[in-house]
A and B are shown apart, each in its own frame.
Chain A
Amino acid sequence: MSTATADHHGPARGLMRWVTTTNHKDIGSLYLLFALIMFLIGGAMAMVIRAELFQPGLQLVDPQFFNSMTTVHALLMIFGAVMPAFTGLANWLIPMQIGAPDMALPRLNNFSFWLLPFAFTMLLSTFFMNGGGPASGWTLYPPLSLQMDAGFPFMIFAIHLAGISSIMGSINVIVTILNMRAPGMTLMKMPLFVWTWLITAYLLIATMPVLAGAVTMLLTDKFAGTSFFSAAGGGDPVMYQHIFWFFGHPEVYILILPAFGIVSAILPTFARKPLFGYSSMVYATASIAFLSFIVWAHHMFTVGMPVVGELFFMYATMMIAVPTGVKVFNWISTMWRGSMTFETPMLFAVGFIIMFTIGGFSGLMLSIAPADFQYHDTYFVVAHFHYVLVTGAIYSIMAAVYYWLPKWTGHMYDERLGKLHFWISTISVNVLFFPQHFLGLAGMPRRIPDYSVQFADWNMISSLGGFVFGLSQLMFVWIIFKAIRGGRKATDQVWEGAQGLEWTLSSPPPYHSFNQPPTVR
């Protein structure tokens, strides 16, 4: 870098800008673009699933390929879409929200992004190998996952790479938040998005190595003659499930805590009223994070645990409803007696609260172990986690994109199209997922390509909703594209009620967000 131009240097030109960039905004954009691509590929796989399930009978795909679709759909959406999207938002927003020029570890930042395209290319390449892609469900339970053919080691290595990327990204977030806050910004003055990401980053660092350990043991069981998970060799297939869900349950909160932060940023803006119960929101987030480590076996009520274990995990799981409830009540109190307007980000945030709460209710029902013996591994569970992940996590990401897009690009997005996108998505996503509650209760297991005739009607309705929801996301892509290219000029504050350091910067913000630390009251 030439010292003479140090004061004025901007991004490098051309493709190399994106390969070599260490800028938090460029890397944030890369993460978000990557997440969008994965969202569309994973969504296309969901379309295959819904097309096969449109009618009973096997019409379109082989059952093995169908199993690959459900498996890789989940892996892409969780590790390829939602997590990178949140990391992209963290990259864009955390430095701007805490008054820093950039992330603390910019080269690590570049590396952690560029691992991802390779990881997921490798994962998808298994479809072209002998035996096809992974088909044992995203949980990769042995012994079934060990029946995978040539693609197995590639899938495991892809998970390792994605995990390394997440851990490095988390280290960066923690170091940035703890060291680079502007003078006067104490921890309890940080925006909630920063708080929720700080806690999420600790969850990631605590659990990703556990996943790495679990899948490495799968790898040695398959190739090195170990029998960690094979009872015939003195191992234990249930042990895998314990290890996996010790990662997997905190992972669920990794996918939702940043969403809480986003909604807590958007509601006060459009209610023109401060967030209600800031400190209790922070404590509730921390409580949820703590509880997430002691509830994992509620995913395993049917594996045959001692009854004391089942009781413990049932009670602990029910407890999660308390801090989660606190959050919902605080959000509604924030709205209460505000002066609300309903621009697209607010619509998505309100949609989030309602539909995430519906997912919370079915979660509470699932926590009741005896009832879970009926619900478990049915479409009721599928409906539950899609309510919390699609209308929860993904809705929050869309809300965030609409909310901060004018800040990022300097252009207002098309409000009319944004609202249309919200309403089409919200109607279709409920047509898609709500009937799946009925299917599960009526006895339809998950992960099946063909089903008995009495499940036909709701499956057809669900598929129709799915096709509309899937296609309507192309609108989202178009709206973003349009706003990047041009549009009405955004002001610095963008939204009338917006509060926080990022809104004091120009729209779009300067390449190095805060060259001088701002003062925080």
Chain B
Amino acid sequence: MSASSRWYQLLLALFSLNAGTAVADYALNMTQGVTRTSQAVYDLHMIIFWICVAIGIVVFGVMIYAMFRHRKSRGVKAAQFHESTTMELVWTLIPIIILVSMAIPATRVLLAMEDTSDADMTIKVTGIQWKWKYDYVDTEAEGLSVVSSLHPDHNEARQLGADADLTVFGDTYLLDVDNPLVVPTGKKIRFLLTAADVIHSWWVPDLGWKKDAIPGFINESWTIIDQPGVYRGQCAELCGRDHAFMPVVVVAKEPAEYAAWVAEQKQAAVDIANSADRVWTKAELMAKGEAVYQTNCAACHQPNGQGLPPVFPALAGSAMATAEDPAAHIDIVLNGKAGSAMTAYRDILNDVDLAAVITYERNAWGNQASIVQPADIKATR
């Protein structure tokens, strides 16, 4: 939406006599979400909110009354009282009672949210600068792995600066991914959250919670989604340059549809594993490599390979990417670089993707060096 039409809307909202309808488009409150947990959290939020409003009306009411009545300009003579143990006791004890009445429902909801027992399935969530990886660790989906990055169209749009037309994305700008997390409805899903590099936080407001993904630690959480649908969120813990660009998309499918999706994904995984054993042509590798590069590497090293020195080095013309022996290049992509934002892609990309992207980096933007085959990656692992 252009700046001018946004201004216009804003003015409309501010000055419209019919402000109620103009403002109705704006989200003002927490979502009730789609799970029993999110509903319970919403209810708790509203209870505390109304208690605060009630206290506010009383306290500010008394204060504003005094400000209008007890003015020097009205000729009021100041009283000189300055102590009352009774009053101090009253306004210590009443808040304590109110607090206890808040703490009871809060405790109940908290205990339910932390009970991850009796889960039907488990999904491991790994936060990586700046994408999410989902591993299905049990049930029929066991062994499936999904890497979920900002959708390429959004990724392109956000790099256009002021020229970007964001209206095409509706309400999902920056909230869409290439590969969403797909889950079945009606099942208690236990999430195990961890991270590969820095701390991230996995948050889908419709599920009612967020939980930090911390390198070296495994956190637990759970959800049961009853309604099929697409639920969106994003990383909530500052995790570096592209923190704003690692959305979470959860697609909840009916069990039958979900089973079909699992079967399809398993077949795709088998196909990829098979293709890793054959020799690829340079053209094939370059085509695939460019796509992988745009999703995983371009944010830092830039689409033109120039990087953002000194933090994110250029790949175009770099000694490593043009050396005849690709060993060093393979090593840094596989294992990352400690103490920098360079992620280890060992567990994020498969052999074909790795071979393709390394080949691309070695032969794009004027670089001319050897190509790398999936078999080379397999041998190095």
User: Which A residues form the contact surface with B (CB < 8 A)?
Assistant: 55-59, 62-64, 67, 130-132, 135-137, 141, 143-144, 146-147, 149, 222, 230-232, 236-238, 271-280, 302-304, 307, 310-311, 314-315, 318-319, 321-322, 325-326, 328-329, 332-342, 350, 353-354, 357-358, 361, 364-365, 368-371, 373-374, 376-378, 438, 441-443, 445-454, 456-458, 460-461
* Interface check B113, CB cutoff 8 A: yes
| Neighbour of B310 across the interface among A55, A149, A274, CB < 8 A | A149
| Neighbour of B102 across the interface among A131, A318, A335, A342, CB < 8 A | A318
Distance (Å) between the CB of A21 and the closest chain B CB? 39
Whether the Cβ atoms of B162 and A143 lie closer than 8 Å is: no
* Interface check B96, CB cutoff 8 A: yes
Please measure, in the bound complex, the distance between the C-alpha atom of A135 and the C-alpha atom of B244, giving whole angstroms. Answer: 14
* Interface check B284, CB cutoff 8 A: no
* Interface contact tally, CB-CB below 8 A: 314
* Interface check B80, CB cutoff 8 A: yes
Residues on A with beta carbons closer than 8 Å to the beta carbon of B234 = 445, 448
Distance (Å) between the CB of A516 and the closest chain B CB? 30
User: Which of B172-180, B181-189, B369-377 participates in binding chain A?
Assistant: B172-180
| Neighbour of B236 across the interface among A304, A333, A445, A458, CB < 8 A | A445
User: Which of B163-171, B266-274, B289-297, B317-325 participates in binding chain A?
Assistant: B163-171
Residue of B nearest to A55 (CB): B3
Q: Which of A57, A329, A341 has the most CB of B within 10 A?
A: A57
Q: Which of B52, B73, B170, B341 has the most CB of A within 10 A?
A: B52
Main SS at interface, chain B: mixed
Residues on A with beta carbons closer than 8 Å to the beta carbon of B219 = 303-304
* Interface check B159, CB cutoff 8 A: yes
19 A-B residue pairs with Cβ-Cβ distance under 8 Å, sorted by A, are A55-B3, A59-B162, A136-B238, A147-B240, A275-B82, A276-B81, A276-B83, A277-B82, A337-B76, A339-B70, A365-B45, A365-B48, A370-B110, A373-B208, A377-B236, A445-B203, A447-B243, A448-B243, A451-B174
Please measure, in the bound complex, the distance between the C-alpha atom of A9 and the C-alpha atom of B110, giving whole angstroms. Answer: 67
Whether the Cβ atoms of A449 and B70 lie closer than 8 Å is: no
Which 8 A/B pairs are nearest by Cβ-Cβ distance?
A231-B216, A442-B27, A448-B244, A304-B219, A339-B78, A373-B209, A361-B52, A274-B82
Residues on A with beta carbons closer than 8 Å to the beta carbon of B363 = none
* Interface check B365, CB cutoff 8 A: no
Residue of A nearest to B13 (CB): A457
With contact pairs A58-B158, A322-B95 given, residues A147 and B340 touching in the complex (Cβ less than 8 Å): yes
Residue of B nearest to A370 (CB): B109
| Neighbour of A339 across the interface among B13, B72, B214, CB < 8 A | B72
Residue of B nearest to A149 (CB): B311
User: Which of B60-68, B137-145, B250-258 participates in binding chain A?
Assistant: B60-68
Main SS at interface, chain A: helix
Whether the Cβ atoms of A374 and B82 lie closer than 8 Å is: no
With contact pairs A231-B215, A322-B99 given, residues A450 and B240 touching in the complex (Cβ less than 8 Å): no
Not counting A67-B240, A310-B114, a sample of 5 additional A-B residue pairs whose C-beta atoms are within 8 angstroms of each other reads A56-B166, A368-B102, A376-B236, A447-B243, A457-B9
Please measure, in the bound complex, the distance between the C-alpha atom of A318 and the C-alpha atom of B77, giving whole angstroms. Answer: 39
* Interface check B30, CB cutoff 8 A: yes
Distance (Å) between the CB of B70 and the closest chain A CB? 5
Distance (Å) between the CB of A56 and the closest chain B CB? 6
Please measure, in the bound complex, the distance between the C-alpha atom of A231 and the C-alpha atom of B198, giving whole angstroms. Answer: 11
Residue of A nearest to B163 (CB): A57
Whether the Cβ atoms of B243 and A304 lie closer than 8 Å is: no
| Neighbour of A373 across the interface among B79, B113, B164, B167, CB < 8 A | B113
Distance (Å) between the CB of B228 and the closest chain A CB? 21
| Neighbour of A341 across the interface among B60, B66, B72, CB < 8 A | B72
Distance (Å) between the CB of B233 and the closest chain A CB? 7
Whether the Cβ atoms of B171 and A307 lie closer than 8 Å is: no
Distance (Å) between the CB of B163 and the closest chain A CB? 9
With contact pairs A273-B79, A318-B99, A438-B27 given, residues A368 and B106 touching in the complex (Cβ less than 8 Å): yes
Whether the Cβ atoms of B110 and A143 lie closer than 8 Å is: no
Residue of B nearest to A314 (CB): B106
Whether the Cβ atoms of B244 and A451 lie closer than 8 Å is: yes
Please measure, in the bound complex, the distance between the C-alpha atom of A231 and the C-alpha atom of B213, giving whole angstroms. Answer: 13
| Neighbour of A325 across the interface among B91, B203, B214, CB < 8 A | B91
| Neighbour of B48 across the interface among A131, A231, A279, A371, CB < 8 A | A371
Whether the Cβ atoms of B215 and A237 lie closer than 8 Å is: yes
Residues on A with beta carbons closer than 8 Å to the beta carbon of B173 = 56, 452-453
Residue of B nearest to A322 (CB): B95
Distance (Å) between the CB of B55 and the closest chain A CB? 7
Whether the Cβ atoms of A310 and B66 lie closer than 8 Å is: no
Residues on A with beta carbons closer than 8 Å to the beta carbon of B63 = 332, 335, 350, 353-354
With contact pairs A438-B27, A457-B10 given, residues A365 and B99 touching in the complex (Cβ less than 8 Å): no
Residues on A with beta carbons closer than 8 Å to the beta carbon of B91 = 325-326, 329
Residue of B nearest to A150 (CB): B310
Please measure, in the bound complex, the distance between the C-alpha atom of A342 and the C-alpha atom of B63, giving whole angstroms. Answer: 14
Residues on B with beta carbons closer than 8 Å to the beta carbon of A307 = 110-111, 114
* Interface check B359, CB cutoff 8 A: no
Residues on A with beta carbons closer than 8 Å to the beta carbon of B10 = 457, 460-461
* Interface check B1, CB cutoff 8 A: yes
Please measure, in the bound complex, the distance between the C-alpha atom of A321 and the C-alpha atom of B48, giving whole angstroms. Answer: 13
Residue of A nearest to B40 (CB): A370
Distance (Å) between the CB of A347 and the closest chain B CB? 11
Please measure, in the bound complex, the distance between the C-alpha atom of A261 and the C-alpha atom of B201, giving whole angstroms. Answer: 39
Please measure, in the bound complex, the distance between the C-alpha atom of A461 and the C-alpha atom of B161, giving whole angstroms. Answer: 21
Residue of A nearest to B77 (CB): A339
Residues on A with beta carbons closer than 8 Å to the beta carbon of B21 = none
With contact pairs A141-B199, A325-B91, A373-B41 given, residues A231 and B164 touching in the complex (Cβ less than 8 Å): no
With contact pairs A230-B216, A326-B91 given, residues A63 and B244 touching in the complex (Cβ less than 8 Å): yes
Distance (Å) between the CB of B340 and the closest chain A CB? 6
Please measure, in the bound complex, the distance between the C-alpha atom of A149 and the C-alpha atom of B201, giving whole angstroms. Answer: 24
* Interface check B304, CB cutoff 8 A: no
| Neighbour of A457 across the interface among B26, B87, B197, B209, CB < 8 A | B26
Please measure, in the bound complex, the distance between the C-alpha atom of A147 and the C-alpha atom of B352, giving whole angstroms. Answer: 30
With contact pairs A332-B59, A354-B60, A449-B244 given, residues A339 and B233 touching in the complex (Cβ less than 8 Å): no
| Neighbour of B171 across the interface among A326, A337, A453, CB < 8 A | A453
Q: Which of B15-55 contact A (CB under 8 A)?
A: 25-31, 40-41, 44-45, 48-49, 52, 55
* Interface check B217, CB cutoff 8 A: yes
Distance (Å) between the CB of A423 and the closest chain B CB? 15
Please measure, in the bound complex, the distance between the C-alpha atom of A364 and the C-alpha atom of B243, giving whole angstroms. Answer: 28
Please measure, in the bound complex, the distance between the C-alpha atom of A302 and the C-alpha atom of B62, giving whole angstroms. Answer: 38
Distance (Å) between the CB of A412 and the closest chain B CB? 18
